[in-house]
Amino acid sequence: RASSAGAPTPSMTSSSSATTQQDLRRQLVLVAPMSVLVLLNVVLLVGQLVCEDREAPRGLRAECVEFIFFDPTGRVNRNSRFVLFLAMMQWLQAWTGIFPNWYVALSRQTGIFHRFVSGVVIFVLVPASLLRLVVWFVKPAGIGVVQRFAGLRHHLVDSVLIISWSLWLLMASISIATPAAVRHSGFKPSFVRDEGEWKHLCTLFKYTLFLWQALHCM
């Protein structure tokens, strides 16, 4: 009798299974968009590096000339990098809206991975991005213009920054998707179901789109 009393009941097993499936769905929703963005940014960066390599085979370089998507000074590549940047910014808006206390959740996490996620955004990504933004405002690079920072082309610096932010959002999503972190993140199921919150978020998306489009055309 004691053994049967201590054994999990079918209702307990089904409840645990439902919780596990809910956690997996939450992780998938958070991780999948950023995984796609990271992949697209990496493909774009690798294509640029290969096409700019002077030691690459002539046939490959000829294909790069014809396939202008990987020409970092061309309009197509420039607009593609802008679209990926804009998608990342809008996802960041949605992410911080869903998890308003994300910084509290990350700070309460223990372990090297979680500390790295918290530290890299404060000491690396934010200072580097602010410096690049100031330089861009002071001396923006137009189509066909190549600037250099510490010997690196400006489009390479931009691509690395966007990939770094996308990777950070991916790692932060993995870190904050744990049940312990979600409790401190400010997440509320009512936010997802509230149409008013989504209307406000969509309005912010539009403002972000128009703001960066205006700055991009300067």
pLDDT number for residue 19:
60
Q: Tens digit of pLDDT for each residue in 90-144?
A: 899 889 989 999 999 999 888 899 899 999 998 999 999 999 888 888 877 766 6
The answer, yes or no, to whether residue 8 has pLDDT greater than 70, is: no
The structure's pTM equals 0.79
Residue 128: which H helix or E strand, with range? helix 126-138
pLDDT number for residue 113:
92
| Residues belonging to the chain | 218
Residues 76, 67: Cα–Cα separation, whole Å: 10
Residues 6+ apart with CB under 8 A from 87: 37
pLDDT number for residue 131:
92
Q: Tens digit of pLDDT for each residue in 14-27?
A: 555 656 777 777 77
Nearest CA to 178 out of 124, 113, 97, 91 is that of 113
Cβ-contact 181, 105 below 8 angstroms: yes
Q: Tens digit of pLDDT for each residue in 44-102?
A: 998 888 887 766 666 666 667 666 788 777 788 888 888 899 999 989 988 998 999 99
